[in-house]
Amino acid sequence: MAISSCPTASQVGTTRVSAGPGRHPFNLVGKMYLAGPLKGAPLSLVAVTPALAGPYDYGVVVVRVALHLDRQTVQVQAVSDTVPAIIGGIPIRLRSIQVSIDRPRFTINPTNCSPMSVDSQGIGDQGTITDFSSYFIAVNCANLPFKPRMSVRQMGKKTARSQNPALRFDLRTRGGDANIKALSVTLPSAFAIDQSHLGNICSERELIEKQCAGRTAIGKATTTTPLLDQPLSGPVYAVSGSGGLPRLAFLLNGQVTLVPRAETKSVGNGKLRTTVAVVPDAPIGHFRLLIFGGKQGYLANTRNLCRHRPVIAVAYRGQNGLRHRQRVKAKTGCAKKKRKVSKR
């Protein structure tokens, strides 16, 4: 791979390598680029370093780094290819590697001020393993505002008792706010899980191995985030849990693939509470969930929605510890009552 094969627009930082014997090693400066998939990872980094030692030019050393993404926590694990120990028949005697990711607006600070660390592992050419970590902590997180908002709309005309309604949930966050750490949505007793559709549940094993292929989705989810160029979107499945009601699994596909989960349980007076306990410390932007209605309907009305307008309770917890609650009146497909015009 030549330097020219990586466009300037993809450069995210630089590298500095110290190599050679004695008290005066050679310092080699290279460039770090963002690249595409590698070894099952959705993204990768490419370190391109010219191997120049005085009058000797040993060409260009290219080392690729796979960026694996945890599909629930979005934690990144960077795994590099083997760094060469010999170039042009000459042992390079590597002393240190320094990587600077300094592209403006490429990385963002967390909004959680809990102590954190970057954990690393180095493997020597003889198989020796060394673990080390770098501690850091963000500051002033408590000063960040936190006020996400959700709206709920019942789609279509399935408003009568025992019908299967389609529900759309729209969650929006504001730029500059603390990110969401967890949230729960409590549906009123006007809605219940349709027991006749529980045979469509996907197992956790099917979710991991086949992404619930062959099962019927109960909904669709889409999210846009300022961290990605394009939205992530995909089906939502009811997945069997360790007991109780099914959990929801969101298969969000795009530049990366995320599979967040949501646990559902029954609370007082037959209400359904769905909780996303782990939300990555990253800006969401706009998240939309559509629960299908009709023949694919996961939910059923326990009463006429036009006579009793549903009210949904939403509880949020921010990465900075702040909490926010919201009571959302669902918009329904009910016909508006005509106003009577008095005759004079």
In what helix (H) or strand (E) does residue 191 lie, and over which residues does it extend? strand 191-193
Whether the pLDDT of residue 249 is over 90: the answer is yes
The answer to whether residue 59 sits within a structural domain is yes
Distance, CA of 218 to chain centre: 21
Beta-bridge partners for 166? 155
Mean predicted confidence (pLDDT) in 198-216: 89
Is residue 73 domain-shared with residue 151, that is, in the same domain? no
CA–CA distances in Å: residue 99 to residues 8, 16, 29, 42, 287: 17, 7, 10, 21, 34
Residue with tokens 């990768």: 44
Mean predicted confidence (pLDDT) in 182-205: 90
- What is the number of H-type helices and E-type strands within the chain? 1, 23
Is residue 292 domain-shared with residue 218, that is, in the same domain? yes
Per the structure, the count of domains in the chain is: 2
> pLDDT over 70 for what percent of the chain?
94
The answer to whether residue 134 sits within a structural domain is no
What's the confidence (pLDDT) of residue 341?
57
Q: Exposure string (b/e) for 201-217, b if CB count within 10 Å is 16 or more?
A: bbeeebbeeebbeebbb
The answer to whether residue 81 sits within a structural domain is yes
Q: What is the CATH number of the domain that holds 210?
A: 2.60.40
Whether the pLDDT of residue 2 is over 60: the answer is no
Is residue 95 domain-shared with residue 149, that is, in the same domain? no
Is residue 219 domain-shared with residue 301, that is, in the same domain? yes
Is residue 303 domain-shared with residue 162, that is, in the same domain? yes
Of 44-58, 156-170, 213-227, the range with the lowest mean pLDDT is 44-58
The answer to whether residue 132 sits within a structural domain is no
Indicate the pTM of the whole model. Answer: 0.85
**Which sign does the torsion angle of CA 200, 204, 205, 206 carry?**
positive
3-state secondary structure of 195: helix
Model confidence band, residue 308 (pLDDT cutoffs 50, 70, 90): confident
CA separation for the pair 14, 6 (Å, rounded): 13
What's the confidence (pLDDT) of residue 1?
41
The answer to whether residue 112 sits within a structural domain is no
Model confidence band, residue 3 (pLDDT cutoffs 50, 70, 90): very low
Q: Which domain holds residue 9?
A: 3-106
Better-scored residue on pLDDT, 89 or 16: 16
Mean predicted confidence (pLDDT) in 49-63: 77
pLDDT digits (tens, 9 = 90+) for 250-264: 999 998 999 999 999
The answer to whether residue 341 sits within a structural domain is no
Identify the burial level of 337 via C-beta atoms within 10 angstroms of its C-beta, where 0-12 means exposed, 13-18 middle and 19 or more buried. Answer: exposed
What's the confidence (pLDDT) of residue 338?
60
The answer to whether residue 121 sits within a structural domain is no
> Are 319 and 181 in contact, with CB atoms under 8 Å apart?
yes
Is residue 240 domain-shared with residue 184, that is, in the same domain? yes
In what helix (H) or strand (E) does residue 210 lie, and over which residues does it extend? helix 204-210
Residues 6+ apart with CB under 8 A from 195: none
Whether the pLDDT of residue 125 is over 80: the answer is no
The answer to whether residue 335 sits within a structural domain is no
